[in-house]
Structure 1
Amino acid sequence: MLQYSDKYNYKIFASIKRFYRKITGKKLYKYGLIDSWILSREIENVLKSNQYDFVFTAYPNAMCFYKNKVPLILVTDTTFIGQQIQWPLYGTIGMQLSVWQELRAFKKGNRIITFSKWSKEILKKYYMIEAKKIDFFPIPAAIPEKFSKSTSNTINVKTLKLLIVAREFYRKGVDIAIEVVKHLNAIGKETKLVICGLTGRNNSQIEFIGPFDKGNDLELKQYISTYKNAHLLIHPARFEAAGITPSEAAACGIPTITNNVGGLGTTVQHGVSGIVLPAKSDSSAYVREILKLIKNPYRYTKLCQNSRKRYEKELKWSSQIGNVKGILQSAKNYSGT
């Protein structure tokens, strides 16, 4: 889109955003009005020259100037207000601009798809969107179904293997996961943590394996093997809009231990596909629950089995085909308030 903008002005805006973040520690804004307006004009030109049944986008803010009558379906894992409540990133200016864009887009949309009950409630409470316009289901795994396979697991082993998949150290709670492993080893339970997505210094308890390119079949298989070699996915995120990695773990029959922030309480069904601790739980809470599982291997095995069953039922995209078809039909029939 920027090729249609004044490059000099864009550089100025980028410099202002960097300066603002340096001074305030907050982001100025995420989506600019100029880019949104240009995109809306491009979409209008495309729709004039072709016939489409729907416009489908995962970037609601970019649709704030949408004017076409072709049904618009918006997909979002979180809203700016939802994120700001649990994980503040933007200053006052950025929030006002972002929420204004979102509100316009949501009003123009025929249907909104989100991936958690938490996000749906935010849309209803803060954006005043009618419930019948919002659909939610847990976010499906982002690995091809042909590669997913349930594994036969027991937790009655000498070395407990935990996995965390993260690109952000602090927000994803990698430090909490490391503390959990240190604590378990300190009390005599041999435990190893594999950290996928980041690089760092390895030791006898911690192994950083970096990121994988899921677009490469070989690396994708290596990535999936990290799940299959683990006993638990530990996901102590301080904020997570939806959390796709618990769905990927479920594809491999691996339960997740996490906490109830953002949409994680939807992605992980407590007592079925894992354990959902209270929001912002510290490392000691994870240690206690893991020790309970070690002492009750039958419960752990049931979690593994039920994780895979839940994947088959609702955590893979093919299981949501009927749901999505219904949403599309509803979008076509929607006449607004």
Structure 2
Amino acid sequence: MFLNQRLLRVVITASFVLSAIFPPVVLPFANHITNGGSIVQAASPAAAAAMDDASPPNPKRADAVRQNNGVRTTALRGSTAGKFGLRNQYTAPPRARTVHYEVQYANALADSAVATQPAVYIVLLADAPVATYRGGIANLAATSPVATNTRRLDLRSAAVTAYRNHLANARSAFRSRADAAVGRSIRVLHEYDTVLNGFAMQLTPAEAAKLLDLPEVQSIQRDQWRYAQTNDSPAFLGVPGIWDGSATAGLPGTKGEGIIVGVIDTGIWPEHPSFADDGSFPAPPARWVGGCSAPADGSQPYSCNNKLIG
């Protein structure tokens, strides 16, 4: 792939501006990135809607595509969510406790398969994790860099060690009460204490609802797969009128046609229908100097078209 420096600067600048204004937005084609960069001409919603069920024909790319199309996420109340997932930071929210909707309705679903199907749940406790603890407990100094006025968290400090021991003892006591609440020994997959304070536990929705009644619990969220969608951005941004042309002052809605999109990331799966040339795309501008080079990992070479132009 070749980009002239002027275009590269424009693409990078535009990317940062969009990130600052719309941090949660997943731009078109983002869920097809695997390894390398690409330049594409924007697609219509019809093309975007047809692409999510396709399977990669190239086995070398298959694993990377699956990793990016199916992103395992855990959305936690009070967490600082990054553009592509959780950042390494957690700020304790107010005491109002939250729970995944399956837990909220577990009683109504008591006789259904949903209420008895075990799954992984993230159970957060009310005590602040090491990264955000600002003091307030007798004989336990603050550990948060904000409170200690340090540039970074010192995980080997005496204060962190003491507070971690405190959290470990509290989690151990909570596990006993949690087991008693559900009437069995709960399988704990992982314990958290640095950025989060809590557990990854295997529970049914009904059991998760019972744990929410315990005073130590801050929130419960089911761990689940999320799939990026490429045709929801206009509705998400609240600008369908720009997309369909009803709010463009008499101009036709272009749906992105004619715009060159630069994807600066770890790559694409070029055979995906999202990058197919359906005949509606014009040839690249005469001054365009990009090209499609052979993959560096030895994957099967591919050719450019009027949709995938670099």
- Determine if the TM-score, normalized by the shorter chain, exceeds 0.5: no
Q: TM-score, normalised by structure 1?
A: 0.24
Which structure shows the higher helix fraction?
A: 1
Which structure shows the higher strand fraction?
A: 2
Q: TM-score, normalised by structure 2?
A: 0.26
Q: Looking at both structures, which has the greater relative contact order when contacts are Cα pairs under 8 Å and sequence separation is at least 6? A: 2
